[in-house]
Each structure stands twice: as C-alpha cells, then as structure tokens.
Amino acid sequence: MSPYSSLRRAERGLDMAQNGCVGNDVPELLVSNVGGAWRIGTAVHRAVGPWTPAVNELLTFLASRVDHVPRVLGFDDQGREVLTYLPGRVVDVDTELLTNGQIESVVTWTRIFHETVVDFIHPGPWRYAQLPNPTIIGHNDIAPYNVCFDGDRLVGVFDRSSEACERVRTARQSDLPALCSRTRFSARHVD
C-alpha cells in the first residue's frame, strides 16, 4: 500500500480530538511502515524518534535550497512533529509504473538534493547506524511511495515512516540503488 493511494480515515476507534482534530479537519492515517503519520488539514503529524532533531535541522536547511520537501512547523500537544503536507498524486505501486517523465523528475531532484546536502553536517543521531567516514546525506528511501506528482512533474519528496536520511560514503550506497530497485522504478523498458 502506498501512503496516499491507500489513505484511510481515522476508523480504528481513535478519538478525533486525541489525534489533533481541529474544527472540521478530519485526521487521515497516511499508511507507512513505522507507526504511521496523520494528515490533519494542511499538516502531517507523526511520532518522533531520537533522529527527529537531525532530520528537522536538515529539512530547515533544505527549505530555501531545494524544492518539494516538507517544512517543519513544530510539534503538537502530543509531542508529535508537525510538517507541511505536500499535495500531489502518489503512484499506486501495486498497479502502476512511473512514467519516463516522472522518473526523470525524481532523478533530477535527487541530483539537486545531493549537490545541496554536501555542505550539511550534523552529528545525528540518524535513523540508521552510521558508516565510518561518511561524505554525504542520503534520503535512503527514494521510492514511488515517498514522492508525489502533478502529472509528470515532481511536487513532493518525503518519508512518512522515519525520514531515513543518514550520512553515507557516497550517493551510490543509498539513493541510486534505492531509486533503481524500489518497487518497479526499473521495470519500464526505455528505447
């Protein structure tokens, strides 16, 4: 299931007020691998981890430098981080392939991301174990379920599960293999 193509309303017996419902904003559970995230109005609320300060600093660093990343809004009264919601269409990885234009859009964004984060240094902790002598931050989960589009144009890159960014030795060790292997990115034959 992809986070947006399989949106589920808050149907699991959860009290709407308990999930940050304000006014007419009905929380929507955004499906993810690690605990889920809730869309409430124009924001996403999700659980924090020890890596959250590092990821929030990275997102703040990227805010004026790279398009299509969520902005940090702070924390809600339950201690969850609050980020901007990035509208767009997520490809249903169970039934669709990305178009050539969408693949090009993601690859272009990834290149810009890598060129930008080369100057970002943060000791972490990050979500996953550190490699010795890292040289660059990698997203580490560039996949159809973590990007959204308007047609072929990329309009959002995120990670609803954990913001899996970490310092790696080279981009070849994280984002490029993920881009090629994750759920049918590489399944399309291009002449």
Residue 143 has pLDDT above 70, yes or no: yes
C-alpha pair distances (Å), 58 with each of 113, 126, 131, 149 = 11, 11, 18, 22
Least confident span in 61-65, 126-130, 165-169, 184-188: 184-188
CA 24 to centroid of chain Cα atoms? 26
Mean pLDDT value across residues 12-34: 53
* pTM over the 0.85 mark: no
Segment holding 181, helix H or strand E: helix 175-181
Q: What is the pLDDT of residue 118?
A: 85
Structure-model confidence comparison of residues 136 and 163, the more confident one: 136
- Lowest mean per-residue pLDDT among 2-6, 41-45, 53-57, 144-148: 2-6
Reply yes or no on whether the pLDDT at 170 is more than 80.
no
143/69 Cα distance (integer angstroms)? 14
For residues 48-55, average pLDDT: 88
Rounded average pLDDT over 53-63: 92
For 126, counting Cβ atoms within 10 Å of its Cβ (0-12 exposed, 13-18 middle, 19+ buried), the class is buried
Residue of higher predicted confidence among 170 and 12: 170
Joined tokens for residue 106? 């993601």
Cβ-count burial 169-186 (b if 16+ within 10 Å, e if not): eebebbbbebbeebebbe
Q: Could you report the per-residue pLDDT of 78-131, keeping only the tens digit for each?
A: 999 999 999 899 988 889 999 999 999 999 999 899 889 888 888 888 777 666
